[in-house]
């Protein structure tokens, strides 16, 4: 029996889930990559694996790039937790004929930064009880706190992803190599890993399926301190359903993903237990007059919302026909304990 690319990747994911090598993974390693990219996916609760119609697929499903034509460029700026964390992203994709075969190439660059982190040195103190430890305020130095023992540093985290995608019998499939660089003060780390994904052809009734295998062989990160960390493989299947209402000049998109990790993330996950964690993602998008988009979503237990505006292209406010699409997007993601996240994105198709 011949298996479809989707079933091959699902079988591979099942084998990775049973592979005991993931047991030694380090939780929350390269966590800055887990929230993805783009204002539009954020507003849709992160449900984007099977959507596959803009270059946010660079993160959510590298295989979906194989279904895209032409070229695209996207830019994003985000502020998380009241501006404490700054996130920037740029993504580019181009479809071309590569040695007689249709191929899509993509590049994604994501940066997360946190400034003014206070580092403390070994401040001298009065060891009253002689135990060699700082036990209380009564042991502060008589002369007070010396500010020279304190300094501020920045946290810089970079993720760079290069992708190749193509099509086979109507299925779009691809993979990507990612490089991670992190620095906090004088400490830094390098890491690398592989992602893979597949997007089905239209399944009828407006339905489409997708699957991403993240950190396919495990992602490894080595710090300058000699500490090594790793990320275990995970699966992210998704479905998307579209319906056009031509009489109303409107369109509806509904999507759902399930982020499956083969580790127990405890309270950090929506559902966890027995060495397994699940985070669901649900989202919807309503286009009006092909110009204005309204979006809602659920990212785990947090609600999301946003909108979009097509400024130019085949449909838009400006008569710039040299662009297929020029769209401005905004997304907001709530948080149960901290300030929410805001993302502003610009997407161009040409």
- Cα–Cα distance measured from residue 48 to residue 239, given in angstroms and rounded to the nearest whole number: 8
Beta strands of 27-100 (E only): which ranges?
71-80, 85-98
Residue 104, pLDDT above cutoff 90:
yes
Q: Average pLDDT of the chain?
A: 83
CATH number of the domain encompassing residue 218: 2.40.160
Q: Which residue has the tokens 């990219």?
A: 37
- Decide if 65 contacts 58 (C-beta within 8 A): yes
Q: Is residue 69 situated within a structural domain?
A: yes
Higher-pLDDT residue of 103, 24: 103
Read off the pLDDT of each residue in 235-254 and give the average, rounded to a whole number.
93
* Domain count of the fold of the chain: 1
- pLDDT for the residue 281: 96
Q: What is the pLDDT of residues 109-136, one digit of tens each?
A: 999 988 766 666 555 555 556 666 656 5
Range of the domain at 38: 5-118+149-349
Q: Is residue 130 situated within a structural domain?
A: no
Q: Is residue 86 situated within a structural domain?
A: yes
- pLDDT for the residue 323: 77
Task: State the greatest distance between any 2 C-alpha atoms of the chain, in Å, as a whole number.
Answer: 83
Q: Is residue 322 situated within a structural domain?
A: yes
Residue 318, pLDDT above cutoff 80:
no
- pLDDT for the residue 337: 78
Output the six-digit token pair for 266. 């405890």
Q: Is residue 131 situated within a structural domain?
A: no
- Cα–Cα distance measured from residue 219 to residue 118, given in angstroms and rounded to the nearest whole number: 29
21 band by pLDDT with thresholds 50, 70 and 90: very low
Read off the pLDDT of each residue in 210-216 and give the average, rounded to a whole number.
92
Cβ neighbours of residue 35 closer than 8 Å, sequence gap 6 or more: 42, 46, 341
pTM here is 0.82
Q: Is residue 275 situated within a structural domain?
A: yes
Q: Is residue 44 situated within a structural domain?
A: yes
Residue 331, pLDDT above cutoff 90:
yes
Q: Is residue 137 situated within a structural domain?
A: no
Q: What is the pLDDT of residues 256-290, one digit of tens each?
A: 999 998 887 777 788 988 788 899 999 999 999 88
């Amino acid at each position: 029996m011949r298996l479809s690319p989707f079933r091959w990747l699902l079988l591979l994911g099942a084998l990775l889930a049973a592979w005991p090598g993931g047991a030694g993974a380090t939780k929350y390693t390269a966590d800055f990559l887990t929230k993805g990219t783009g204002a539009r996916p954020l507003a849709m609760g992160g449900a984007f694996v099977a959507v596959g119609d803009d270059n946010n697929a660079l993160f959510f499903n590298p295989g979906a790039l194989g279904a895209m034509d032409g070229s695209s460029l996207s830019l994003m700026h985000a502020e998380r937790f009241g501006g404490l964390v700054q996130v920037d992203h740029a993504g580019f994709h181009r479809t071309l004929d590569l040695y007689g075969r249709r191929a899509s190439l993509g590049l994604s660059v994501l940066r997360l930064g946190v400034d003014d982190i206070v580092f403390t040195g070994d401040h001298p103190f009065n060891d009253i009880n002689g135990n060699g430890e700082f036990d209380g305020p009564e042991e502060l130095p008589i002369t007070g706190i010396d500010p020279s023992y304190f300094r501020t540093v920045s946290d810089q985290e970079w993720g760079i992803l290069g992708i190749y995608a193509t099509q086979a019998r109507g299925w779009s499939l691809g993979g990507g190599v990612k490089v991670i660089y992190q620095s906090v003060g004088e400490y830094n780390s390098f890491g690398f890993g592989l992602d893979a994904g597949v997007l089905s052809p239209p399944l009828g009734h407006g339905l489409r399926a997708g699957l991403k295998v993240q950190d396919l062989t495990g992602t490894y990160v080595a710090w300058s301190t000699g500490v090594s960390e790793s990320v275990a493989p995970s699966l992210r299947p998704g479905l998307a359903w579209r319906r056009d209402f031509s009489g109303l000049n409107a369109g509806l998109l509904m999507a759902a993903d399930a982020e499956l990790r083969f580790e127990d993330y405890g309270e950090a996950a929506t559902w966890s237990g027995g060495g397994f964690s699940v985070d669901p993602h649900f989202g919807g998008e309503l286009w009006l007059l092909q110009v204005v988009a309204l979006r809602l979503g659920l990212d785990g237990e947090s609600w999301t919302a946003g909108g979009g505006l097509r400024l130019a292209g085949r449909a838009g406010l400006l008569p710039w026909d040299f662009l297929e699409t020029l769209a401005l997007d905004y997304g907001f993601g709530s948080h149960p304990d901290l300030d929410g996240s805001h993302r502003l994105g610009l997407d161009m198709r040409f």
